[in-house]
Chains A and B, each alone.
Chain A
Amino acid sequence: MKFDERQEPEAMVVKPLENRLDSYVADEFKVYMKNIVQNGHLKIVLDLSDIDFVDSSGLGAIIATTIALRPQGQLIVCNARDSVLALFRLTRMDRVIPMKSDVQEALRTMSSE
């Protein structure tokens, strides 16, 4: 699994360069994100703009990252497509993880909190 990551003043922006976040890549995703957290990045913006399919394993891996960031850190998801956003809402994960429309909005939110 490939990622694009860049450090912005407000947060680390991570973008998976895949179109699926499913059971076949979920573990890899989880390890990757855990490493970022362990390296001291406690504010992370997850850019899902390339993802068009997420299954429950993928959502579980995102939740695991949120848990790893607690209590001080924060994860914000942005650029989720309608089909992906629908699954966040369906599972009520949108009530746990802030969802923003793009990276800039996510970074603004991060800096204001």
Chain B
Amino acid sequence: MSPKIMNPEQKRSDLINSIRHNARYGMGIGDDQLSNQEAFQAVARSLRETLIDGMLDTEARYTRQGSKRLYYLSMEFLMGRALGNGLYNLGLLEVCRGALMDMGIDLEEIRQAEPDAALGNGGLGRLAACFLDSLATLGIAGYGYGLLYEFGLFRQEIRNGYQKEKPDHWNALGSPWLIERPEEACIIPIYGRIENGVDADGGYNPMWMDWQVLIGVPSDLPIPGYGGHTVNFLRLYSARSSQDFDMQIFNAGDYLRAVEQKISSETISKILYPADTVQSGKELRLLQEYFLVACTLRDIFRRYKKEYGANAITEFSTKVAIQLNDTHPALTVAELMRTLVDEEHFEWDAAWELTQATLGYTNHTLLPEALEKWAVPLFEKVLPRHLQIIYEINRRFLEQVEVRWPNDTKKLASMSIIEEGETKYVRMANLAIIGSHSVNGVAKLHSDLVTTNLVPDFYDFWPEKFNNKTNGVTPRRWLLKANPGLAGLLSETIGEGWITDLDQLRGLEPYVDDSSFRARFLDVKLNNKRLLSNTVWATNRVRIDPLALFDIQIKRMHEYKRQLLNLLHIVCLYLLIVEEGKQLPTPRVCIFAGKAAPGYWAAKQIIKLINNVAQRVNNDPRVRDQLKVVFIPDYRVSLAERIIPAADLSEQISTAGMEASGTGNMKLAMNGALTIGTLDGANIEILEEVGNDNIYIFGLKAENILEMRQHNSYRPEDYYLHSDRVKRVMDAIKGDLFCPGEPGLFEWIFNALVHEGDYYFHLADFNTYSNAQSLAAEDFSQPMLWSRKAILNVARMGKFSSDRTIREYAQDIWGIS
């Protein structure tokens, strides 16, 4: 996009005219009576015009240059709000602020009126969103493809300490950013049966008959890169029924049936499945995954044929790369093969070569229960032709395994796409690995564990396929936008180059001993903590002291992430204060936020325990404000943007070997929080970057835990019996201290940790965690020492920009330079 040459006054005046025009003629509202929501809509519509110009210019440039295109398939895109990000990236923030001021409107207020687009559960979806920002900033022809869920991740309310889920109708008012493209709708068949016939030449011809049809209608969300030179898009599909089809039923007088048909078709893109729910057997989820894959591939082929002609499919992989964000879109392997073999009339071997050359797969989890598999009968019912294709892929692949390792039935069983048993299953990870030319993990440790523990046989078979791409986060959203105070200080000190080249933050190191810089750094942090204190007062009615240590754990609620370990330490501190009269080295505010999957009982109980501990601690006069506990409800991107800049201590305390990477750890360190963490996920690489003196590492290593699990040698009872600290804390949890009206409510935690094996090693890590916490508190009580460490954390976060991650993907996997 070529930026229009205009002075700021002209831009401001043009923007005012555009906002008034959009309010009046787009929304039917005079500008003198705009509510915040209406003003947001009018501003967004005005910005949308600039974005559309940019998108069209960008597309023309890619076409002219014959750019190779990257398609990032993900069931989740956790985008958050778009207005602020768009204004920053297009360089229009101050113009817009000024224009609105002239109209008597406060930009900050209308930014708060924008609902978060919560089309994701957590890290995986937010990673996809960060990647889109980096792709556009780097000028790469990269597109997100996902589903336009009518309901995003549920809104979380807390009642009597318990999580209550409320529907998130995020798009109820209509998103001003989305551009619907009905002319590019596609027809997707599902269900049906295979009729085994012969073709005109007498060859085998399996025909897919008796299917039902879905219509996929795309809507585009423009993605501006920083500087506005490139505007890519995220294409999101909604499922619709065929209007023609419905109208016929309607004409036949069966209105109710027409409506029912419509509802069942549109159910496909109705709701985002929460993470951590058992999805096996969930037909709707399988339909969703197929719907995304099928719509995407049709769109890719349509665009490719338009650019290169219908006869150039043999060159497909030189112009198209597809990245699978986890196994959720792994059906792409079968759908691409079906398209090439059935529709494009490719021979099997040529189709297979093209499929592997085009696809890359990113693994995101080592948790066995999170590896998707679908029962064969369900799969056959929904996608009969795809099951045939998968059987054929598997037959040919297992022949290769047999050649490599003759008569090794164990290897054949572990590597087969089909899991044998009373009910057979289709293993989606195996399908994705076999069908891709690249398989990557998302942090060094995780990628190692993929090859040594998760799929070692595949690694032995294809070592060259496996690689690591350590995650990153976009500094535009997580520093420039989320923390304008720090961003301003950084730009003033080292220039603005860091915004697109985060390694330049190293330029801060010479200032680490500069007392005036340190003082300003601390001022920025204190101001951010004041803002968060206001939020906590508004949401929780708890007063917190901005001078206290803000100890933050914000992430999905899951046992392996060990919010419970944090809580055990809080209980320990509480008991030290009230029973022993101890004075903490520094007042501490422990802040939690995160959602539990609606069906995940233990995680929801942990939320209840946090709230009950908060109730007790915050209202006990003996504590004298040395300790506060807060659970801020409804964790989401916009709330993270408020919490992260205010953090002093970042809790990254998962059981070693269980967190793939984490990206919250990067966002928090980038904003000057010090990490207290285990040697897990990307914490290890954060340690490598910041150095041992600037991080608090504790606990068992992944290999210790694996060994103890293998040998069944962990005895949590021993920790309970032999550590006074552990015993006091666990007894307090077991008793009624934190559930006076509901005796025995948390006894299950005592049993799980002390008597039932403590699968996540809370007790084994408790003492080293407590020691690390003490050290952190001592350091925090020395502001100059603490600020030095915090500044060095910021300065050494260059590696964790998603720009670096995307460059690695582009070069090593996608063949895009």
Contact = CB atoms under 8 A, between A and B. Distances in A.
Interface string A84-104: 001101111101101000000
Q: Is the interface on chain A under 10, 10 to 19, 20 to 34, or 35 or more residues? A: 20 to 34
Interface stretch (A7-15, A33-41, A42-50, A52-60): A52-60
Interface string A59-96: 11001000000000000000000010011011111011
A95 B343 CA distance: 10
A90 B244 contact: no
A86 B208 CA distance: 13
Contacts of A89: 342-343
Given A56-B211, A86-B187, A90-B189, A24 B252 contact: yes
Interface in B227-251: 242, 244-245, 248-249
Nearest to A84: B187
B381 to A, nearest CB: 15
Interface string B195-230: 001111001011111111100000000000000000
Contact of B244 (A52, A63, A92): A52
B334 to A, nearest CB: 14
B485 interface: no
A57 B242 CA distance: 15
Among B192, B198, B207, B342, the one with the most A-chain Cβ atoms within 10 Å of its Cβ is B207
A63 to B, nearest CB: 8
A88 B206 CA distance: 13
Nearest to B192: A56
A82 B754 CA distance: 66
Nearest to B338: A90
Contacts of B200: 95-96, 98
Contact of B205 (A22, A59, A92): A92
A63 B189 CA distance: 18
A92 B206 CA distance: 7
B342 A53 contact: no
B649 to A, nearest CB: 56
A22 B203 CA distance: 28
A19 interface: yes
A98 B249 CA distance: 31
A30 interface: no
A83 to B, nearest CB: 7
Nearest to A91: B208
B245 A91 contact: no
A112 B208 CA distance: 30
Contacts of A91: 189, 207-209, 211
Nearest to A82: B302
A95 B207 CA distance: 9
Contacts of B189: 56, 87, 90-91
Interface string B356-390: 00000000000000000000000000000000000
A59 B342 contact: no
A86 B248 contact: no
Given A19-B244, A22-B248, A56-B192, A95 B199 contact: yes
Among A20, A90, A95, A96, the one with the most B-chain Cβ atoms within 10 Å of its Cβ is A90
B187 A87 contact: yes
A59 B209 contact: yes
A62 to B, nearest CB: 11
Q: Is the interface on chain B under 10, 10 to 19, 20 to 34, or 35 or more residues? A: 20 to 34
Contacts of B248: 20, 22, 24
A48 to B, nearest CB: 15
Contacts of A57: 210
A92 to B, nearest CB: 5
Nearest to A59: B209
A61 to B, nearest CB: 11
Contacts of B203: 95
A86 B205 CA distance: 17
Contacts of A59: 209
A59 B213 CA distance: 13
B208 A92 contact: yes
Contact of B199 (A20, A86, A96): A96
A86 B211 CA distance: 14
Contacts of A93: 207
A55 B213 contact: yes
A60 B187 CA distance: 17
Contacts of A92: 199, 205-208, 342
B209 A56 contact: yes
B260 to A, nearest CB: 15
Contacts of B212: 56
Contacts of B242: 53
A94 B203 CA distance: 13
B205 A96 contact: yes
Nearest to B210: A56
Among B187, B200, B203, B206, the one with the most A-chain Cβ atoms within 10 Å of its Cβ is B187
Contacts of A90: 189, 208, 342-343
Contacts of B205: 92, 95-96
Among A24, A56, A89, A96, the one with the most B-chain Cβ atoms within 10 Å of its Cβ is A56
Contact of B210 (A60, A95, A98): A60
Interface string B285-323: 000000000000000000000000000000000000000
Nearest to A88: B343
B213 A96 contact: no
A4 to B, nearest CB: 21
A57 to B, nearest CB: 8
Interface of B: 187, 189, 192, 197-200, 203, 205-213, 242, 244-245, 248-249, 252, 342-343
Q: Which 6 A-B pairs have the closest CB atoms?
A: A95-B199, A89-B343, A91-B208, A53-B244, A56-B211, A92-B207
17 contacts: A20-B248, A22-B245, A24-B249, A53-B242, A55-B245, A56-B189, A56-B192, A59-B209, A60-B210, A63-B209, A87-B189, A89-B343, A91-B209, A92-B199, A92-B205, A92-B207, A96-B200
